[in-house]
Structure 1
Amino acid sequence: MRQMSPGRSRSVRAWMSAARSRRTRGTTNRPDHSVGVSCSDLWVTRFHPWRVVRELGVKVSWPANMPWRILGLCDPSSMTIYLNRARLVTQVERRCTLTHELVHLHHGHQGAQPSRIEAAVRAETARLLIPDDALESALCWSTDVFELAESLWVTEAVVRDRLEGLRCV
């Protein structure tokens, strides 16, 4: 198994670390005097996997012959993500799968991973796609997984992964 070159590895890691730190700091473009989170703020703080792909020079391929059960694959040696064109019909599905594969790329994973690694990748994907403030706002008006997914622009599976990752303090 070939490993990602050190230069590329650092760039993916640096970008993902920066994305996580922006999430934890809760940076938005809203003025200090505003209260709460408006819909426009959610657009400002939303994670954009296609922007990450463009900025890091990751190639995205849509092969026609991918097995039906596989939504996406990544190859860290060539910095390529393969997405299943037949399965990923909506933009939301593409966004979530692309983010999931970016997390795999960030960690240098190649090929099938053990279930505990997949669970960790799903949890990290959910944290990137659903920041705390957006989840808090959405949970104020609904606890239905379908409604949450629609309002947060993610799949129902990502919402479930995010809710499973919450810890009571």
Structure 2
Amino acid sequence: MDHPWRRFRAKEGWTLIWSTLPDGLKGFTDHTTHTVWLDKDLQQTDRRCTICHELAHIERGPVPSDPILKAREESAVERQAARELIDLDALLDALKWAHNVPEAADVLWVSDDVLKVRIEHLQPDERAWIEENLADP
């Protein structure tokens, strides 16, 4: 299991600030001040997912200002965070017994949205492996 909090602590020179963020914004990374802002009202699972998302922003660099490039970057960051948070073996185990997305997300300790991104962007070989192993009794 990925431990994004440990990874964040290992980032020298970066500061975390808990604050009230505008509606809909869970986190924000400021590369000029090396600061990550997280909404103080997030629940534990959303905190874990959001810090992983912000770590991807740290690793990938500042978000472009162009709206199209910005949207592409956000999508890439979402995919990266989902892949880091959800190991393929753990995903298979969750899918074997869960009856719905919220149930699977709960056991994987991620948000429904993160789980959906992970599933939607499985590589063809990953998807084939999941389908093959889900078919096994």
Shorter-normalised TM-score: what interval? 0.7 to 0.9
1:4 equivalent in structure 2: none
**Correspondence list, 1:118-137, <5 A:** 118-137=74-93
Q: Give the conservation status (yes or no) of the 8 Å contact 2:46–2:111.
A: yes
Q: Is the 8 A contact 1:53 1:59 kept in 2?
A: no
Residues 124-154 of structure 1: CA distance to partner in whole angstroms, max 9, x if unpaired? 1000000111111111222511111010000
* Shift in Å, 1:79: 2.1
Paired-residue identity, %: 38
Check conservation: 1:126, 1:161, Cα contact below 8 A. yes
**Residues 49 and 95 of structure 1 are in contact (CA less than 8 Å); yes or no, is this contact kept in structure 2?**
yes
Distance 1:111 1:72, change over 3 A: farther
Question: Which residue number corresponds to residue 144 of structure 1?
Answer: 100
TM-score calculated relative to the size of structure 1? 0.66
Query: Structure 1 regions of 5+ residues with no counterpart?
Result: 1-45
The unaligned stretches of length 5 or more in structure 2 are: 126-137
1:76 aligns with 2:76: no
Check the 8 A contact 1:75/1:110 in 2, yes or no: no
Which is further off, 92-101 or 141-150?
Answer: 141-150
Match of residue 52 from structure 1: 7
For the pair 1:167 / 2:120, whether they are aligned, the reply is no
Contact 2:63/2:73, CA 8 A, preserved across alignment: no
TM-score (norm: length of structure 2): 0.80
Residue number in structure 2 paired with 1:94: 47
Q: Secondary structure at the match of 2:10?
A: helix
Amino acid at match of 2:18: W
1:70 alignment partner AA:
L
**Quick one: distance in 2 between partners of 1:128 and 1:134?**
12
Match of residue 17 from structure 2: 61
Give runs of ≥4 in structure 1 deviating > 4 Å: 110-113
Asked if 1:115 corresponds to 2:71, the answer is: yes
Q: Which amino acid aligns with 1:102?
A: L
- Three-state SS of the structure 1 residue aligned to 2:32 is coil
Map 1:4-23 onto structure 2 (within 5 A).
Answer: none
